[in-house]
Amino acid sequence: MGDVEAYSNFTVTEKKTRKVKKTTKRRESNDAGTDVTITEIERTTNGNQGGEYTKAMNKDWHGQHFCCWQCDESLTGQRYVLRDEHPYCVSCYESVFANGCEKCNKIIGIDSKDLSYKDKHWHEACFLCTACGESLVDKQFGSRSDRIYCGKCYDEKFASRCDGCGEIFRAGTKKMEYKTRQWHEKCFCCVMCKTPIGTQSFIPREQEIYCAKCYEEKYATRCIKCNKVITSGGVTYKNEPWHRECFTCTNCQTSLAGARFTSRDDKPYCADCFGELFAKRCYACSRPITGIGGTKFISFEDRHWHNDCFYCASCRTSLVGKGFITDNTDIICPECAKQKLN
């Protein structure tokens, strides 16, 4: 709505005018940016009768010519409102230009203060909190879904709440946020030790927040041997975690990380220790037959040989996959056996 002024005009007799009195009675500014001035002017004249005219808008008019721009009714002696340099009677101005009140649906006339917010308008008496009915004039308020609320009611209904204590975030309160959750600074603390996290590192787990120390105490992977936290580079053996430096041969304590090993009674051994302690020994070379790395061996009666050691005692020909004959404690090929018989 543009700037408007409401006036009372007057009729004068043009002859021997002696006294002029102008009195401004009320000027109001509403929230829509509209200034409304209601003015009454009294003019007294003395002298002989002369022609009458109307003085308005800093101009002189014949009485029948100063009319409402909308309905053409004479404005002589009537209050009028000026809009875009055109005069309107109060009734036409209010029906064409005045806003309707959002609460009571009545016209907000020129004698009422028009309070506006987001293209909506209210009488001063109608500008109330939707929830508690308290006047919002000259007070902070909030809006939601085209409704207005006082600060207290808005906070109770719509303000975001702390995921720790459930209380709302008051204006100016520092807020800690992580993903879709938010906390008061004092509520953003470790679920175990209750120490505020602040700017320290933290670890989320499900719906709870842990400081690094408490998370390690409760959930971090620990070495099955030394029971200390494995921070990096661990080894898994039989579904159990080990530090690389803790995963050693049970007998000689040599590191088994990246090396060949085998186990006995669920304990790891390097190849050498396992062979020395538990493996069968080759009848030919007396070295252990470990089987590590897919080593093949031959067994006969109570004796065992590496594949490479299973050969004829006379001609040294390999007997792997061939027939052989025992000669006391030796094994010989059929050809050597014939030669001995001859």
Per-residue pLDDT tens digits for 233-258:
788 888 888 888 899 998 898 888 87
Percent of the chain beyond pLDDT 70?
82
- Give yes or no for residue 143 having a pLDDT over 80: yes
The predicted pLDDT at position 11 comes to 38
- Mean pLDDT (the chain, rounded): 78
- Give yes or no for residue 117 having a pLDDT over 60: yes
List helix spans (H) across the chain. 90-96, 151-158, 212-218, 271-277, 334-341
- Cβ-in-10-Å burial (0-12, 13-18, 19+) of 165 comes to exposed
Tokens standing for residue 1:
């709505």
CA 328 to chain centre: 86
> Are the C-beta atoms of residues 114 and 106 closer than 8 Å to each other?
no
Select the more confidently predicted residue: 145 or 100: 100
d(CA 179, CA 291) in angstroms, rounded, equals 55
